[in-house]
Amino acid sequence: MIKIENLEKVYKTEEIETTALNGINLHVKEGEFVSIMGPSGCGKSTLLNVMGLLDKPESGSYKFLETELLKLNDRERSNFRKRNMGFVFQNFNLIDELTVFENIELPLIYNKIPSAERKKLVNEIIERMNIVNRSGHFPQQLSGGQQQRVAVARALVTKPKLVLADEPTGNLDSAHGNEVMELLCELNETGTTIVMVTHSSHDASFSNRIINLKDGHVISEKINKGKTEELI
Amino acid sequence: MFKLNLKIALRNLWKNGGITSINVGGLAIALAAFILVMMYVTYETTFDKGNPNYDNIYIVGRTMPEFKTNYTPPPLGKAIKQNFPEVMAVGTLKKGGFEFAISSDANTAFASNYLMVDYEAAKMLQLLPNEELAKPANEEGILFFLAKESMMTLFPKKKDDKPELVTLGSKAAGQTAEVKGTISVNKHSNVTFDALSVRKELGKNENYGYNNYNTYIQVKSGTDIAALEQKINTLYKNELIKDGQDVSTDRYKQTTIFLDPLKNQHLKPMAGNNAAYKVLIALSVLAMLILLIACINFTNLSIAQATKRAKEVGVKKVLGVYRYQLTFQFLTEILMQCVVATILGLLIAELLMPKFNALFNVSLSIWSANNALLYQLPLILLAITFIAGIYPAMVLSGFKPSLVLKGNFQTSRNTYWLRNSLLIVQFSVAVIFITSLLIISTQLKYMRTQDVGFNANQVVYIKNIMMFSDPRVFEPVRQKIMRIPGIKSVTVATGIPDGSENGSNGYTVNGVEASIDFLDVDFDYFETLDIKLADGRFFNKAFKTDTANSAIINESAAAKYGLTDPIGKTIRGCSMDYKIVGVVKDFKAQGFETPVQPTLYSIKNPCGNAKTQLMLKIDQDQMSEAIATLKAQWPDINKMDGDNFRYYFLNDLYGKLFQKQEQLQSVFFAAALLTIFIATLGLFAFAKYMTNNRMKEIAVRKVLGASDVQILKLLNSSFFAMVIIANCISWPLAYVLTKKWLETFAYRIDIPVLPFLISAAVTILLTVLTVSIQAAKAVKANPVNALKYE
């Protein structure tokens, strides 16, 4: 599904140049759950941003279902993103001025889904996420775990082919963290491809494959046997 | 999507209620000022615009060697009509010249602005009575109309529009006339009057020497005005020869005809000055500056608020929203705020309208049907939305989601500089207004306290139409008045010292010829006005020659002729040899703008006008009794004016000379107050934002041992620097502007240093106060909270 080859990304400031991604090669199959790990500053988040079309690399190739994405202009990137990708962030990034329902509805509005269908889709996912009684609340009125559930619901409501998660449990206690990881697993089981950046080996243990980055290079790749066998 | 964006916008504005109200409130106040000025500008630039032939009416004027004038002889109009087919109509007008009484059995009204016109002028200039204007039947027929107010005074119960009989002048000596009907006077016109007479023809028997009429022409659309002007000029010269005028003089050779459009008459007439036009331009610039400051505030605050919206932008972009959609969303939000500000602005303008109308002596109203605001306001709304909104909208919609969603958000160095520069501009404008206001006030104080060389206090000026040029005619009147207790002295002259100009003529002393002013007076003129003697003596009844050929000159006249010992010298002018008997000290009869003119005062003057201006010095303690007695005895004292006793205090009349400056002072006071208010509002919100942003830094510093004072200093320092820079920028500007203004005065102050220091002190004080109020909260807060929050 995803073929990334020789991806390079350099951050330049007035004084220094930092190579965040240094010739990354990465393939992700459809239905896979991949974790990306590594120490701070190794380029995990940069890689995720490039995959989510939020950032542009200097060189390399990024094919998604055989479409080369790095050649797209800003508008085409926006369109591609909203049709194919969902995002889950460490700090949830819910819009404070919108209720739970409205936050989840937002991507559907941008995908020009008619109002009645939007309502149906949002209600479905709210039920699935077990946050029905919270739908009229504002994000500040929810616990961290609940906020992340809303964020996941928002990422899933458009039924994206790929979900990108950036430290989804980073701001949560272990109980809430586990809940979110289980949610992602369930999602993966229904066929959604997931790429997750994490610091936590525990979280990574939920995925099929773990990729380790250091200084912008892929230094190792490990198949999560227990998980794969389970899949088989 | 729009509904959702609207929700986000409203909830955001509600959450930041304080800053939103500052933002919208500041803009509303500035808009109110702008609306008022715009309405005034529209009013001033549309005099006579209701006339259907507005673009085709011209006044015929003459360019003389020294000046331009709109006065033309009546036969010129007729000649133009006969010779040029492109001229469709020619109208002739003449002003009445003096105030007279109109009486009915019930009441008396005064016509101070009587206008005579011919039938064609009345039609061309839309001077139409309520009933249809009938063409006067014959050459002698005069149709006399009165303004509605006067008609109501004279005939309070009148309902119909039938003619009425009135008495003109004193009831005893006056003549009877028929008032044909009522006429509505258009105050928004160049041609105003309180009484109007319409004739078939005006100035019929006058020749080309009678240059005291106005000639208006109406041309066909598309007429080449320059060519017509040339043709009329040639015609005029030929007509003068035919008329037998002396055409050998330079005056004749240098005189030319000009055509001045009706639309220029009010603000920039060729014959006259364009001061009103300049004031209008200055006022417009002022209003735009104030609006600009408010827009700057808006921009500044919106950018300052940007961090709060960063996450929203990031999320929306991740969800696939295009940048232009976000730009449009933010512009719409700003438009909404501007709409609210405009509505508020209209309300504020409505509240201020009575004061504004009084200050500028107009009667504007927001709610009139044909108000130009109807189309101007939406345009302004769009313009300010664009000016105030485009930059924040671009900044906000330009956030990179990969950065802002990680929380790595910082407004760039560019917006930091921009915000600071905008604050500096705001304060610079405020400093210019404060400094200018203080300098204007100092000059006004100087004008009020400076010795003007005469004393207008307790001098009463009485309106009169009786001519007292011969002292022997005036003497019995004087004696009757002097018998009234409390009257100290009485005099009559051709003019009073209220700023009005004197006549001027060529006079020769010792072979030196110069053009100087002259004023015809009677005995006790200098004593009544308490004018100081420099040399010689005042006029005195004991000297028989004083009514024949004595003259008094002022110091400026002595200086002009280079006379060190003027007494006894002969000064020749107006075919007379005067003997100089006294020199008076210069006194500022014309106010402070023009220097005291070299002037000759005489009792006899064959070239002068009639002496009609009565002045009485009355004892302060007996003032009211004396005036009451004067009023009672007036029909006996002055038979011509009879029962129409009207008086004014001379110091009030002289005080009117300061009116223009007092108006300017009021405008600058309002502008200074407004700009400083809006700038402080902006600063308040900006300081609040800056302090909130530095909460963590403040906490860390406190933990490390910084004192409260050190932190207050830290937060104030950057703002302090900005205000100092603003002062440095605006001082030279304010200096140049006020210097230019002061140069319009012949008698003026040197620019003082104090206003500059005061405006610096005021702005610094306001800044430190505003910032410290915000900073104090941060200083008092427990540092642990700020650090835990992180």
Q: What is the DSSP string of B113-127?
A: SEEEEEHHHHHHTT-
Q: Taking Cα atoms as reference points, which of B292, B261, B314 lies closest to residue B48?
A: B261
Q: What single DSSP character describes residue A132?
A: G
Token pair, residue B462, equals 């009485």
CB contact under 8 A, B319 and A98: no
Q: Taking Cα atoms as reference points, which of B584, B589, B525 lies closest to residue B556?
A: B584
Token pair, residue A13, equals 């400031």
User: Phi and psi of B690, rounded to 5°?
Assistant: -60, -45
B312 interfaces chain A, CB cutoff of 8 Å: yes
The pLDDT value recorded for residue B660 is 79
Give the C-alpha separation, B450 to B440, whole Å.
Answer: 15
CB contact under 8 A, B1 and A91: no
Domain residues for the domain of B733 are 439-450+657-790
Cβ-Cβ contacts under 8 Å for B701 (sequence gap 6 or more):
B710, B711, B714
DSSP β-bridge partners for residue B102: B109, B168
Token pair, residue B256, equals 């030319």
**Average pLDDT value for residue range A54-61:** 89
Q: What is the pLDDT of residues B81-92, one digit of tens each?
A: 999 999 999 999
Token pair, residue B486, equals 């409390």
Any domain includes B360? yes
**Is residue B644 located within the same domain as residue B663?**
no
Asked if residue A168 lies in contact with residue A188, where contact means CB atoms within 8 angstroms, the answer is: no
Minimum mean pLDDT range among B146-160, B261-275, B719-733, B775-789: B775-789
Minimum mean pLDDT range among B260-274, B281-295, B413-427, B580-594: B413-427
Give the C-alpha separation, B315 to A139, whole Å.
Answer: 14
Nearest CA in chain B to A98: B8
The pLDDT value recorded for residue B728 is 95
Q: Is it the case that residue B308 has pLDDT exceeding 80?
A: no
Asked if residue A53 lies in contact with residue A20, where contact means CB atoms within 8 angstroms, the answer is: no
- Nearest CB neighbour to A107, from listed B319, B405, B406: B319
The pLDDT value recorded for residue A106 is 84
User: Which of B610, B629, B656 is the last residue before a domain boundary?
Assistant: B656
Asked if residue B295 lies in contact with residue B387, where contact means CB atoms within 8 angstroms, the answer is: yes
Any domain includes B116? yes
CB contact under 8 A, B1 and A55: no
Residue B619 — very low, low, confident or very high, per pLDDT cuts 50/70/90? very high
Q: Taking Cα atoms as reference points, which of B299, B177, B171 lies closest to residue B645?
A: B171
Among positive and negative, which fits the CA dihedral A146, A148, A154, A157?
A: negative
Cβ-Cβ contacts under 8 Å for B741 (sequence gap 6 or more):
B436, B439, B440
B318 interfaces chain A, CB cutoff of 8 Å: yes
More confident residue, B372 or B288: B288
Domain residues for the domain of A208 are 2-231
Per-position DSSP letters for B1-25, written without gaps between them: -HHHHHHHHHHHHHHTHHHHHHHHH
CB contact under 8 A, B323 and A74: yes
A59-64 and A67-68: which strand pairing? antiparallel
**Average pLDDT value for residue range B448-454:** 91
**Is residue B668 located within the same domain as residue B788?**
yes
Instruction: Name every chain A residue with its beta carbon within 8 A of the beta carbon of B396.
Output: none
Asked if residue A184 lies in contact with residue A153, where contact means CB atoms within 8 angstroms, the answer is: no
User: Which of B602, B630, B656 is the last residue before a domain boundary?
Assistant: B656
The pLDDT value recorded for residue B343 is 93
Nearest CA in chain A to B325: A110
**Is residue B646 located within the same domain as residue B664?**
no
* Alpha-carbon gap: B683 to the closest alpha carbon of chain A (Å): 27
CB contact under 8 A, B1 and A74: no
Q: Is it the case that residue B279 has pLDDT exceeding 60?
A: yes
Q: Is it the case that residue B56 has pLDDT exceeding 60?
A: yes
Any domain includes B645? yes
**Is residue B181 located within the same domain as residue B138?**
yes
Give the C-alpha separation, B204 to B78, whole Å.
Answer: 10
H helices within chain A, ranges in order?
44-51, 74-84, 100-110, 115-128, 144-156, 174-189, 201-204, 225-231
How many CB atoms are located within 10 Å of the residue B484 CB?
20
CB contact under 8 A, A110 and B317: no
Residue B658 — very low, low, confident or very high, per pLDDT cuts 50/70/90? confident
The pLDDT value recorded for residue B783 is 67
Q: What is the pLDDT of residues B521-549, one digit of tens each?
A: 999 999 999 999 999 999 999 998 999 89
**Average pLDDT value for residue range B445-472:** 89
B407 interfaces chain A, CB cutoff of 8 Å: yes
Strand, helix or coil for residue B276: helix
In which element (H, E) is residue B519 found? strand B512-520
Q: Taking Cα atoms as reference points, which of B411, B318, B321, B310 lies closest to residue A48?
A: B318
Instruction: Name every chain B residue with its beta carbon within 8 A of the beta carbon of A110.
Output: 1, 316, 319-321
Q: Is it the case that residue A149 has pLDDT exceeding 80?
A: yes
CA distances from B739 to B445, B596, B658, B745 (A): 17, 21, 18, 10
Asked if residue B257 lies in contact with residue B232, where contact means CB atoms within 8 angstroms, the answer is: yes
Give the C-alpha separation, A19 to A213, whole Å.
Answer: 13
The pLDDT value recorded for residue A129 is 84
Residues composing chain B: 790
Any domain includes B221? yes
* Alpha-carbon gap: A93 to the closest alpha carbon of chain B (Å): 7
The pLDDT value recorded for residue B5 is 80
Per-position DSSP letters for B33-90, written without gaps between them: HHHHHHHHHHHHHTTTTTSTTGGGEEEEEEE-SS-EE-EE-HHHHHHHHHH-TTEEEE
ipTM, two decimals: 0.73
- Nearest CB neighbour to B12, from listed A78, A93, A97: A97
Q: What is the pLDDT of residues A31-57, one digit of tens each?
A: 999 999 999 888 888 899 899 888 889
State the average pLDDT for chain B. Answer: 86
Q: Is it the case that residue B789 has pLDDT exceeding 50?
A: no
H helices within B648-748, ranges in order?
650-655, 659-693, 695-703, 708-742
User: Phi and psi of A52, rounded to 5°?
Assistant: -85, 5
Any domain includes B431? no
**Average pLDDT value for residue range A11-17:** 79
**Average pLDDT value for residue range B603-631:** 90
Rg over alpha carbons for chain A, rounded to the nearest Å, is: 18
* Alpha-carbon gap: B273 to the closest alpha carbon of chain A (Å): 60
User: Which of B264, B283, B309 is the last residue before a domain boundary?
Assistant: B264
Token pair, residue A202, equals 């525990």
**Is residue B617 located within the same domain as residue B708?**
no
Strand, helix or coil for residue B457: coil
Q: 63-102 in A: which are within 8 Å (CB) of B?
A: 74-75, 78-79, 81-83, 87, 89, 91, 93-98, 102
Q: What is the pLDDT of residues B113-171, one digit of tens each?
A: 899 999 999 999 988 887 677 777 666 678 888 888 888 888 888 887 788 888 887 77
**Is residue B236 located within the same domain as residue B349?**
no
A11 interfaces chain B, CB cutoff of 8 Å: no
Task: Map tokens 């000159």 to a residue.
Answer: B553
Minimum mean pLDDT range among A144-148, A191-195, B736-740: A144-148
CA distances from B587 to B379, B451, B497 (A): 53, 9, 9
Q: What is the pLDDT of residues B68-79, one digit of tens each?
A: 889 899 999 999
Secondary structure in 3-state letters for A66-88: CEECCCCCHHHHHHHHHHHEEEE
* Alpha-carbon gap: A32 to the closest alpha carbon of chain B (Å): 22
Instruction: Name every chain B residue with its beta carbon within 8 A of the beta carbon of A72.
Output: none
Q: Is it the case that residue B409 has pLDDT exceeding 60?
A: no
How many CB atoms are located within 10 Å of the residue A99 CB?
20
CB contact under 8 A, B320 and A102: no
Give the C-alpha separation, B545 to B567, whole Å.
Answer: 15
If one counts the domains in chain B, the total is 4
**CATH at A206:** 3.40.50.300
In which element (H, E) is residue B765 found? helix B754-780
**Is residue B518 located within the same domain as residue B648?**
yes
**Buried (b) or exposed (e) across B90-120, using 16+ Cβ within 10 A?**
bbbbbebeebbbbbbeeebbbbeebbbbbbb
**Is residue B95 located within the same domain as residue B199?**
yes
Give the C-alpha separation, B512 to B488, whole Å.
Answer: 39
Q: What is the pLDDT of residues A163-213, one digit of tens each?
A: 999 888 888 888 888 888 988 998 899 889 999 999 899 999 999 999 999
CB contact under 8 A, A96 and B320: no
Percentage, residues of chain B above pLDDT 70? 95
Give the C-alpha separation, B39 to B32, whole Å.
Answer: 11
Q: Is it the case that residue B410 has pLDDT exceeding 60?
A: no
Roughly how many angstroms between the first and final C-alpha of chain A, as a whole number?
A: 19
Residue A231 — very low, low, confident or very high, per pLDDT cuts 50/70/90? very low
Asked if residue B488 lies in contact with residue B504, where contact means CB atoms within 8 angstroms, the answer is: no
CB contact under 8 A, A54 and B402: yes
Q: What is the pLDDT of residues B320-346, one digit of tens each?
A: 888 888 888 888 888 988 999 999 999
- Which of A98-107, B277-286, B339-348, B698-707 has the largest mean confidence? B339-348
Minimum mean pLDDT range among B513-522, B566-575, B778-787: B778-787
Give the C-alpha separation, B455 to B447, whole Å.
Answer: 14
**Is residue B602 located within the same domain as residue B708?**
no
Among positive and negative, which fits the CA dihedral B595, B601, B605, B611?
A: positive
Give the C-alpha separation, A144 to A142, whole Å.
Answer: 7
Per-position DSSP letters for A207-219, written without gaps between them: SSEEEEEETTEEE
**Is residue B635 located within the same domain as residue B755?**
no
A110 interfaces chain B, CB cutoff of 8 Å: yes
Asked if residue B55 lies in contact with residue B256, where contact means CB atoms within 8 angstroms, the answer is: no
Per-position DSSP letters for B595-615, written without gaps between them: PPPPEEEES--TTS----EEE
Instruction: Name every chain A residue with its beta carbon within 8 A of the beta carbon of B401.
Output: 54
**Is residue B665 located within the same domain as residue B730?**
yes
The pLDDT value recorded for residue B790 is 35
**Average pLDDT value for residue range B741-757:** 92
If one counts the domains in chain A, the total is 1
Token pair, residue B365, equals 């109203």
Give the C-alpha separation, B233 to B72, whole Å.
Answer: 12
B599-602 and B512-520: which strand pairing? parallel
State the average pLDDT for chain A. Answer: 88
**Is residue B133 located within the same domain as residue B248?**
yes
